[in-house]
Amino acid sequence: EADIYQTPRYLVIGTGKKITLECSQTMGHDKMYWYQQDPGMELHLIHYSYGVNSTEKGDLSSESTVSRIRTEHFPLTLESARPSHTSQYLCASKGWSDRESSGANVLTFGAGSRLTVL
Amino acid sequence: TQLLEQSPQFLSIQEGENLTVYCNSSSVFSSLQWYRQEPGEGPVLLVTVVTGGEVKKLKRLTFQFGDARKDSSLHITAAQPGDTGLYLCAGVALGSSASKIIFGSGTRLSIRP
């Protein structure tokens, strides 16, 4: 019963095209994240946001940009896609988990957007 | 710089065997989370450990947080094919932004029937 949605799930495009990966969450979470992950490999933080009009770069340098105009929406844009951008992009939001008695903030992930740039 | 190192990177064992996955760091973490990710999906939270020395059990999975809060382990008893997946530890290092959650390098687990 995912409450965070990513579109498109799969995208194959040519070099030089502009793309936007959409991410929306219905949980009212302030903090949102974008991670980049090659198949079966670790997640690298590329962008995060504390809330509306707040964006920060993560540890992995990325040519992508993000915006946070509304709490529920955190899109990622590549102005000119290249083959080196081929990867899976995972969006997540951070809030309290009902399952966790510790009350620690946990991440809820979308299903991901797999991007292939030819 | 990889703050969270996981070992082993890959593990393939027979159904019914036991295994342990490790997550180590030179940094202190306020808490650590363990996630499991299946192909084509996002990671799903398994557990959070907060207190140094804490042990949490989730059916056949046992999670432990090191006394110094720099490391954690995941032990699976009598592994089953349904345990197959990528296991990731994650957390926020003390002194870094409270929003900057980083992930470990991951352990890919395969359980053979």
CA-CA distances (angstroms) from residue B87 to A28, A78, B43, B94? 27, 29, 9, 23
Chain A CB within 8 Å of residue B94 CB = no
Number of residues that this document lists for chain B: 113
Of the listed ranges A40-49, B8-17, B61-70, the one predicted with least confidence: A40-49
- Minimum distance, in Å, between the CA of residue B66 and any CA atom of chain A: 17
Task: For residues A50-76, give the mean pLDDT.
Answer: 92
Chain A CB within 8 Å of residue B44 CB = yes
Tell me: pLDDT of A102 over 80.
no
Cross-strand partners of A21:
A76
Question: To the nearest whole percent, how much of chain A has pLDDT over 90?
Answer: 68
Tell me: pLDDT of A25 over 90.
yes
pLDDT recorded at residue B95: 77
Task: For residues A35-43, give the mean pLDDT.
Answer: 87
- The mean pLDDT of chain A is 89
Q: List the 11-70 stretch of A: residues with Cβ below 8 A of B.
A: 31, 33, 35, 40-45, 48, 50, 56, 58-59
What does the alpha-carbon distance between residue A64 and residue A19 come to, in Å, rounded to a whole number? Answer: 10
Structure tokens at B48: 């959070």
CA angle B8, B83, B91 (to 5 degrees): 55
pLDDT recorded at residue A24: 97
pLDDT recorded at residue A104: 61
* Contact residues on chain A for B39, CB-CB shorter than 8 A: 40
Tell me: pLDDT of A2 over 70.
no
- 3-state DSSP: chain A helix, strand, coil percent, rounded to 5? 5, 50, 50
- The mean pLDDT of chain B is 91
User: Where does the pLDDT of residue A59 fall: very low under 50, low under 70, confident under 90, or very high at 90 and above?
Assistant: confident
Tell me: pLDDT of B2 over 60.
no
User: Where does the pLDDT of residue B98 fall: very low under 50, low under 70, confident under 90, or very high at 90 and above?
Assistant: low
Tell me: pLDDT of A16 over 60.
yes
* B35 touches B109 (CB < 8 A): no
Cross-strand partners of B109:
B11, B85
Element (H, E) at B18: none
Residue from the list A42, A111, A114 with its beta carbon closest to the beta carbon of B103:
A42
- Minimum distance, in Å, between the CA of residue A67 and any CA atom of chain B: 17
**pLDDT tens track for B18-38:** 999 999 999 999 889 999 999
